[in-house]
A and B are shown apart, each in its own frame.
Chain A
Amino acid sequence: MRRILAVLLENEAGSLSRVVGLFAQRNYNIESLTVAPTEDPTLSRLTLTTSGDQEKINQIMKQLDKLVEVVKVVDLCEGEHVERELLLIKVRAEGQSRAEIKRSADVFRGQIVDVTAQTYTIQLVGPSGKLDAFIRAIDDSGVNATILEVVRSGVSGVGRGDYVLSV
Chain B
Amino acid sequence: MTEMLSGGDMLIRALQDEGVEYIFGYPGGSALHIYDAIFRQQKIEHILVRHEQAATHMADGYARSTGDPGVVLVTSGPGATNAITGIATAYMDSIPMIVISGQVPSDLIGTDAFQETDMVGISRPVVKHSFMVRDASEIPGVVKKAFHIATTGRPGPVVIDVPKDTTDPSATYAYEYPKSVSLRSYKPAFEGDSSAVNQAIQALLAAKRPVFYVGGGVVQADAEGVLRDLVKAARVPVTSTLMGLGAYPGTDEQSLGMLGMHGTYEANMAMHDADLIFALGARFDDRVTNNPDKFSPKATIVHLDVDPASVDKIIHSDITLIGDAGWVLNALWEAYQARDAERDDDARQKQQQDLEQWWQHINEWRSAHGLNHNLQAQEGQNILPQLAIQSLYRTTKGDAFVTSDVGQHQMFAAQYYHFDEPRRWINSGGLGTMGFGLPSAMGVQMGNPESVVACVTGEGSFMMNMQELSTCLQYGLPIKIINLNNQALGMVKQWQDMQYGGRHSQSTYSDSLPDFKTLVEAFGHVGIKVSDATQLDAAMEEAFSEANKNRLVFVDVWVDPHEHVYPMAIKGGAMNDMILSKSPDAKP
Q: Does chain B have a CB within 8 A of A9?
A: yes
Q: Does chain A have a CB within 8 A of B313?
A: yes
* Closest beta carbon of chain A to B292's beta carbon, Å: 12
B185 touching A9, Cβ below 8 Å: yes
Bound complex: CA of A59 vs CA of B310, how far in Å?
9
Q: A10-B185, A59-B313, A68-B185 are in contact. Are A17 and B125 (CB under 8 A)?
A: no
Q: A10-B185, A14-B120, A55-B312 are in contact. Are A66 and B307 (CB under 8 A)?
A: yes
Q: Does chain B have a CB within 8 A of A167?
A: yes
- List of A residues within 8 angstroms of B186 by Cβ: 68
Q: A21-B125, A68-B149 are in contact. Are A62 and B309 (CB under 8 A)?
A: yes
Nearest to B129 among chain A residues (CB) is: A68
Instruction: Encode A59-88 as 1/0 by CB contact (under 8 A) with B.
Output: 100110110111100000000000000000
Nearest to A55 among chain B residues (CB) is: B312
A71 touching B184, Cβ below 8 Å: yes
Bound complex: CA of A21 vs CA of B185, how far in Å?
18
Bound complex: CA of A58 vs CA of B312, how far in Å?
9
A68 touching B307, Cβ below 8 Å: no
Q: Does chain B have a CB within 8 A of A27?
A: no
Instruction: Encode B120-159 as 1/0 by CB contact (under 8 A) with A.
Output: 1100110011101010000000000000010000000000
Q: A69-B185, A167-B184 are in contact. Are A13 and B132 (CB under 8 A)?
A: yes
* Closest beta carbon of chain A to B217's beta carbon, Å: 15
Bound complex: CA of A118 vs CA of B125, how far in Å?
49
A21 touching B124, Cβ below 8 Å: yes
Bound complex: CA of A25 vs CA of B121, how far in Å?
13
- List of A residues within 8 angstroms of B309 by Cβ: 59, 62-63, 65-66
- List of A residues within 8 angstroms of B1 by Cβ: none
Bound complex: CA of A56 vs CA of B120, how far in Å?
28
Nearest to A25 among chain B residues (CB) is: B125
Quick one: which of A9, A14, A65 contacts B308, CB cutoff 8 A? A65
Q: Does chain A have a CB within 8 A of B375?
A: no
- List of B residues within 8 angstroms of A69 by Cβ: 185
B128 touching A68, Cβ below 8 Å: yes
Q: Does chain A have a CB within 8 A of B183?
A: yes
Q: Does chain B have a CB within 8 A of A18?
A: yes
Query: Secondary structure at chain B's binding surface: helix, strand, loop or mixed?
Result: mixed
Bound complex: CA of A70 vs CA of B187, how far in Å?
11
- List of B residues within 8 angstroms of A63 by Cβ: 309
- List of B residues within 8 angstroms of A167 by Cβ: 184
Bound complex: CA of A63 vs CA of B185, how far in Å?
13
Nearest to B310 among chain A residues (CB) is: A62
- List of B residues within 8 angstroms of A65 by Cβ: 308-309
Nearest to B149 among chain A residues (CB) is: A68
Bound complex: CA of A45 vs CA of B121, how far in Å?
22
The size of the chain A interface, using a CB distance under 8 A, is 20
Nearest to B158 among chain A residues (CB) is: A68
Give the residues from 73 to 127 in chain A that come closer than 8 angstroms, CB to CB, to chain B: none
Bound complex: CA of A167 vs CA of B186, how far in Å?
12
Nearest to A60 among chain B residues (CB) is: B309
Instruction: Indicate the member of A14, A58, A66 with the most B CB atoms within 10 Å.
Output: A66
- List of A residues within 8 angstroms of B134 by Cβ: 13
Give the residues from 9 to 23 in chain A that come closer than 8 angstroms, CB to CB, to chain B: 9-10, 13-14, 17-18, 21
* Closest beta carbon of chain A to B381's beta carbon, Å: 49
* Closest beta carbon of chain B to A9's beta carbon, Å: 7
- List of A residues within 8 angstroms of B313 by Cβ: 59
Instruction: Encode B80-110 as 1/0 by CB contact (under 8 A) with A.
Output: 0000000000000000000000000000000
B132 touching A68, Cβ below 8 Å: no
- List of A residues within 8 angstroms of B183 by Cβ: 68
Give the residues from 530 to 585 in chain B that come closer than 8 angstroms, CB to CB, to chain A: none
* Closest beta carbon of chain B to A7's beta carbon, Å: 11
- List of B residues within 8 angstroms of A18 by Cβ: 124
Bound complex: CA of A70 vs CA of B184, how far in Å?
9
* Closest beta carbon of chain A to B512's beta carbon, Å: 38
- List of A residues within 8 angstroms of B132 by Cβ: 13-14
Bound complex: CA of A63 vs CA of B125, how far in Å?
12
Bound complex: CA of A163 vs CA of B184, how far in Å?
21
Nearest to A21 among chain B residues (CB) is: B124
- List of A residues within 8 angstroms of B312 by Cβ: 55, 58-59
Quick one: which of A13, A17, A70 contacts B185, CB cutoff 8 A? A70
* Closest beta carbon of chain A to B246's beta carbon, Å: 27
Instruction: Encode B483-504 as 1/0 by CB contact (under 8 A) with A.
Output: 0000000000000000000000
Bound complex: CA of A55 vs CA of B308, how far in Å?
13
Nearest to A9 among chain B residues (CB) is: B185
* Closest beta carbon of chain A to B129's beta carbon, Å: 4
* Closest beta carbon of chain B to A57's beta carbon, Å: 12
Bound complex: CA of A69 vs CA of B527, how far in Å?
51
Bound complex: CA of A71 vs CA of B314, how far in Å?
25
B124 touching A71, Cβ below 8 Å: no
Bound complex: CA of A70 vs CA of B309, how far in Å?
14
Bound complex: CA of A68 vs CA of B125, how far in Å?
13
* Closest beta carbon of chain A to B99's beta carbon, Å: 16
* Closest beta carbon of chain B to A69's beta carbon, Å: 6
- List of A residues within 8 angstroms of B125 by Cβ: 21, 25
A71 touching B120, Cβ below 8 Å: no
Bound complex: CA of A17 vs CA of B123, how far in Å?
12
* Closest beta carbon of chain B to A3's beta carbon, Å: 17
Nearest to A72 among chain B residues (CB) is: B185
Nearest to A10 among chain B residues (CB) is: B185
- List of B residues within 8 angstroms of A13 by Cβ: 132, 134
A59-B312, A65-B308 provided; 20 other pairs, C-beta below 8 A? Answer: A9-B185, A10-B185, A13-B132, A14-B130, A17-B124, A21-B125, A25-B125, A58-B312, A59-B309, A63-B309, A65-B309, A66-B308, A66-B309, A68-B128, A68-B129, A68-B185, A68-B186, A69-B185, A71-B185, A167-B184
5 contacts between A and B (CB under 8 A): A14-B132, A66-B307, A69-B185, A70-B185, A71-B184
User: Nearest 7 CB-CB pairs, A to B?
Assistant: A62-B309, A71-B185, A68-B129, A25-B125, A68-B186, A62-B308, A63-B309
